[in-house]
């Protein structure tokens, strides 16, 4: 357990400069001046520390005078015209947030005062690294940004689908994003981290290793926006009417449970439908199957923060849910798509500093930098300080201020007075009682570029995350690391990553090294703090352990042929709809096929345009003659082979046997292949589909 003294603002801190070999895996060494150029500002001023922003004490707030931070962040914010630098590819929807019960004990935020109250909301999901034109299923972090139009101003919870981040200090944000973007001399790869510059940066930044475990897991390739979690990432504060403070972390839990795809599947989805996530959200809302998440909060006090094994201000760490169970406080429902994508989804402006009275910030240095950066970003991207005049960004509560003029001003103060104080008694006035008040906190310590020693453990929670995964999920992490590092052309970078993995899990490191052809394992990277092996596994960190209770919200693809049993198809459709799922028909041609009873079965997809990767389970409703014909088509064989390889449940009629054989699938291979012939068999198939995947098949199939 951390000693209380390690939490004091005047604690001994690590000064991160080029002397810090231990904290950086032994890779950064002090060099003699003259051997390499000295880093400078754009004005030519030499820089002493490019790793840490200027703070008051090691755990204190970032100071406004840090000109190097401001220059880096401002330049970074202005690097794209007009596209977002990060989170460029996004998709949004309108909805509402419904409060479960009053939280007045913890916060005076108006949104949490009245049970049952509904607050308008807009949510934007996104990928981080790719451009606007990239594909949806890139391996990447997903943005999960929520704008709540409360009665006391807009509240933006600008989070991700992963609860931690790559870096501990905002001054490094331009560096991590530069490293993962297309390499500047060749402008590729697009929306991919499988290249030298990203892994070079990561290999020299041990604090990233916890996040790397998440990004190399299936969390980075979600099946749908509807099936992924959202997190506020940082530690915030709640303040009640007495200005008493509680720390808080925000979690969005999907009603339909967690679900991701496997990498081979993601690659093929990107080819078949690069708008897969967008289409999924659109179709769900248009059909009335409104996506829903529950907001849960982890609330804790200073005593808990002081006794917790890790620093709650460190954005590369989380608080396990088993240790501090999140409390349900409300639900988010998305029920309406934008009328115009550009006017709303593209022009919406999220900013971490948008909080209502009763919500406040912690000294998390990444959050402090984000609060500083977002306003500048939106001014640059939307062209004016008046971006709040756009309907999507405007508050829905009354608002009054003296700001005027400027580019795109659509409203200005009315009357003679546009300043305060004034002698005329006109215009709005501040309110100590109702206005935003910051938590009163005494800060002390040297004004230096510091990194708290309590931030120095870079491997223990990475190990905990890996140990919390099921066997298939651990295998996927190893496969992802192997694939990504196989694209790295510089051998020393690959070896450096393996040296970090040795501090997380020796078996994982050995597996990756073997696949990469590294015969002699490097020594483990020097760790500023030894990896702990006493942290208990957290089942909440596993996707498979937190899957759905039903097959609701999922989609079944039914491949039909001429002579198919229309009555059986009708029974199947009824069972699927009763489960809350949907069904789409695939046929040799879009016009459909003639069933055995002479009626036409219409189809949404032709076989070449409706591969099995688009569905959560598949059914082969084929006559024997139809199966024989389809067995000669590569797309039909791939439909079956991919569904089997991706561990999906497959229902089939006896006539489908020729296609199964040609696709290399044994009809009796496992319990995931089921003959459908009567309502009981159909019910059994639907029940099996609730598991989503038959992961035991993976040991027999190389993905």
Active site residues: 87, 160
Q: Which two tokens stand for residue 642?
A: 């991919």
> What strands lie across the sheet with 673-675, from one edge to the other?
605-606, 582-587, 555-560, 617-621, 650-652, 673-675
My answer on whether omega of the bond before 50 falls inside 30° of 0, hence cis, is no
SS in 3 state form for 267-306? HHHHHHCCCHHHHHHHHHHHCCCCCEEEEEEEEECHHHHH
Q: Which two tokens stand for residue 213?
A: 């475990």
Q: Which two tokens stand for residue 585?
A: 């028909």
Residue 267: how many CB atoms within 10 A of its CB?
16
What contacts 261, CB < 8 A, 6 or more positions away? 137, 218, 221, 222, 223, 269, 613, 646
Residue 540: how many CB atoms within 10 A of its CB?
17
Give backbone dihedrals phi and psi of 575, rounded to 5 degrees, phi first: -70, -40
Which of 318, 302, 307 shows the shortest CA–CA distance to 441? 302
Residue 602: how many CB atoms within 10 A of its CB?
11
- Which residues are bridge partners to 149 per DSSP? 154
Which of 363, 576, 456, 595 shows the shortest CA–CA distance to 16? 456
Distance separating alpha carbons of residues 506 and 466, to the nearest angstrom = 11
Number of residues written out for the chain: 703
């Amino acid at each position: 357990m951390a000693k209380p003294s390690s939490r004091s603002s005047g604690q001994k801190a690590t000064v991160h400069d080029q002397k810090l070999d231990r904290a950086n895996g032994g890779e950064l060494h002090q060099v003699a001046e003259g051997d390499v150029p000295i880093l400078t500002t754009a004005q030519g001023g030499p820089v002493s520390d490019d790793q840490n922003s200027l703070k008051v004490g090691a755990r204190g707030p970032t100071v406004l005078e840090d000109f190097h931070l401001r220059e880096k962040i401002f330049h970074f914010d202005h690097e794209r015209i007009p596209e977002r630098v990060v989170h460029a590819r996004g998709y949004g929807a309108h909805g509402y947030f419904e409060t479960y019960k009053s939280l007045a004990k913890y916060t005076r935020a108006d949104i949490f005062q009245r049970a049952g109250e509904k607050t308008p909301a807009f949510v934007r999901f996104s990928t981080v690294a790719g451009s606007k034109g990239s594909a949806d299923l890139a391996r990447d972090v997903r943005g999960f940004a929520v704008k709540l139009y409360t009665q006391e101003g807009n509240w933006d919870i600008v989070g991700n689908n992963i609860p931690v981040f790559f870096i501990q200090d905002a001054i490094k944000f331009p560096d991590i994003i530069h490293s993962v973007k297309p390499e500047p001399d060749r402008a590729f790869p697009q929306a991919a981290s499988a290249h030298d510059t990203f892994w070079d940066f990561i290999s020299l930044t041990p604090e990233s290793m916890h996040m790397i475990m998440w990004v190399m897991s299936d969390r980075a390739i979600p099946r749908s926006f509807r099936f992924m979690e959202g997190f506020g990432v940082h530690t915030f504060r709640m303040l009640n009417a007495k200005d008493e403070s509680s720390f808080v972390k925000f979690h969005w839990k999907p009603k339909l449970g967690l679900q991701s795809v496997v990498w081979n599947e993601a690659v093929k989805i990107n080819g078949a439908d690069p708008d897969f996530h967008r289409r999924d959200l659109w179709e769900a809302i248009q059909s009335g199957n409104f996506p829903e998440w529950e907001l849960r909060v982890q609330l804790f006090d200073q005593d808990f923060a002081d006794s917790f094994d890790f620093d709650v201000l460190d954005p590369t760490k989380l608080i396990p849910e088993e240790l501090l169970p999140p409390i349900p406080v409300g639900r988010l429902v998305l029920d309406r798509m934008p009328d115009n994508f550009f006017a709303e989804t593209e022009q919406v402006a999220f900013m971490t500093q948008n909080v209502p009275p009763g919500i406040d910030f912690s000294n998390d240095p990444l959050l402090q930098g984000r609060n500083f950066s977002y306003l500048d970003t939106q001014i640059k991207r939307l062209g004016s300080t008046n971006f709040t005049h756009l309907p999507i960004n405007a508050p829905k509560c009354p608002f009054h201020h003296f700001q005027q003029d400027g580019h795109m001003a659509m409203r200005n103060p009315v009357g003679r007075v546009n300043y305060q104080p004034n002698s005329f008694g006109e215009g709005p006035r501040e309110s100590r009682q109702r206005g935003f008040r910051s938590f009163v906190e005494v800060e002390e310590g040297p004004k230096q570029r510091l990194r708290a020693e309590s931030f120095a453990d870079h491997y223990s929670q990475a190990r905990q995350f890996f140990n919390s995964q099921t066997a298939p999920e651990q295998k996927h992490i190893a496969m992802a690391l192997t694939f990504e590092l196989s694209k790295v052309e510089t051998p020393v970078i690959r070896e450096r990553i393996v040296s970090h993995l040795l501090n997380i899990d020796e078996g994982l490191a050995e597996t990756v090294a073997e696949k990469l052809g590294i015969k002699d394992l490097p020594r483990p990277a020097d760790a500023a703090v030894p990896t702990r092996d006493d942290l208990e596994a957290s089942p909440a960190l596993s996707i498979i352990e937190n899957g759905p209770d039903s097959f609701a919200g999922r989609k079944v693809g039914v491949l039909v042929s001429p002579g198919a049993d229309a009555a059986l198809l009708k029974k199947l459709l009824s069972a699927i709809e009763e489960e809350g799922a949907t069904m789409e028909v695939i046929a040799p041609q879009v016009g459909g096929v003639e069933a055995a009873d002479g009626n036409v079965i219409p189809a949404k997809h032709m076989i070449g345009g409706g591969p099995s990767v688009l569905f959560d389970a598949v059914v082969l409703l084929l006559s024997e003659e139809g199966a024989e014909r389809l067995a000669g088509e590569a797309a039909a064989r791939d439909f079956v082979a991919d569904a089997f390889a991706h561990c999906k449940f497959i229902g089939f009629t006896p006539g489908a046997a020729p296609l199964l054989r040609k696709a290399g699938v044994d009809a009796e291979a496992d319990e995931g292949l089921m003959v459908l012939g009567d309502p009981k068999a159909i019910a059994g198939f639907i029940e099996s589909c609730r598991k989503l995947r038959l992961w035991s098949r993976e040991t027999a199939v190389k993905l």
